[in-house]
A and B are shown apart, each in its own frame.
Chain A
Amino acid sequence: GDSVTQMEGPVTLSEEAFLTINCTYTATGYPSLFWYVQYPGEGLQLLLKATKADDKGSNKGFEATYRKETTSFHLEKGSVQVSDSAVYFCALIPLSGTYKYIFGTGTRLKVLA
């Protein structure tokens, strides 16, 4: 069945470091791909999305490119801030006609000043 695999955390970085959180997926066809973020004490917020191959989603300095060759959607940011500390979830919606998200396990990011 469809699935999402994320790198295990926690990831600890210093402020202004480069961030990569890996995400790969298994799905039939070309699903829509998403990154959601959960800040401490809050709910999930959509960070960015991509709906077709080679699309690049971007928001708040974060980027992810839909790579069908490698079935990946890695999240990157050039310079992280303390305020980026959160749990990041990669997710997909399959093409099966249902609209349920399939999530990865989440990656906790901690940014130190």
Chain B
Amino acid sequence: EAGVTQFPSHSVIEKGQTVTLRCDPISGHDNLYWYRRVMGKEIKFLLHFVKESKQDESGMPNNRFLAERTGGTYSTLKVQPAELEDSGVYFCASSQEANQPQHFGDGTRLSIL
């Protein structure tokens, strides 16, 4: 079974540009989560999808971040415009049921110059 796949693995952009991160969850997993780790600090929750619906987006930092999951399969996280403080590692995770342990992808390292 393929794991959670994220791409790109690394993205370097300039402040003010737009970047889109993609996550492909494990097949059949209705629950998809986004997290990020900024500057070696704790990993923080961003949002939770159940199929195509946003179940909890309380961790989204501001309206420059837009997450979508059209069709309830893969998800994208767009940052527009990117700011310096958005640099970090963005993790995606999925689970079949919400109360089951989450499976994480390798993360996308985002560097804003």
Contact = CB atoms under 8 A, between A and B. Distances in A.
Given A42-B106, A44-B104, A45-B104, A103 B42 contact: yes
A103 B37 CA distance: 10
A100 B43 contact: no
Contacts of B41: 105
A100 B56 contact: yes
A100 B99 contact: no
Contacts of B45: 100-102
B29 interface: no
Most A-side CB within 10 Å, residue of B31, B35, B37 = B37
A112 interface: no
B105 A101 contact: no
Nearest to B97: A99
Interface residues of B, number: 29
B102 interface: yes
Contact of B106 (A36, A43, A100, A104): A43
Contacts of A43: 3-4, 6, 91, 104-107
Contacts, number: 58
A98 to B, nearest CB: 5
B98 A49 contact: no
B106 A89 contact: no
Contacts of B37: 106
Interface in A82-113: 89, 91, 98-106
Contacts of A17: none
Closest 10 pairs between A and B when the two form their complex, measured CB to CB: A100-B45, A44-B104, A43-B106, A103-B43, A99-B98, A43-B104, A105-B42, A103-B42, A46-B101, A43-B105
27 contacts: A43-B3, A43-B4, A43-B91, A43-B106, A43-B107, A44-B43, A44-B91, A44-B93, A44-B104, A45-B104, A46-B102, A46-B103, A91-B43, A99-B56, A99-B102, A100-B33, A100-B56, A100-B59, A101-B33, A101-B43, A101-B45, A103-B42, A103-B43, A104-B42, A105-B40, A105-B41, A106-B37
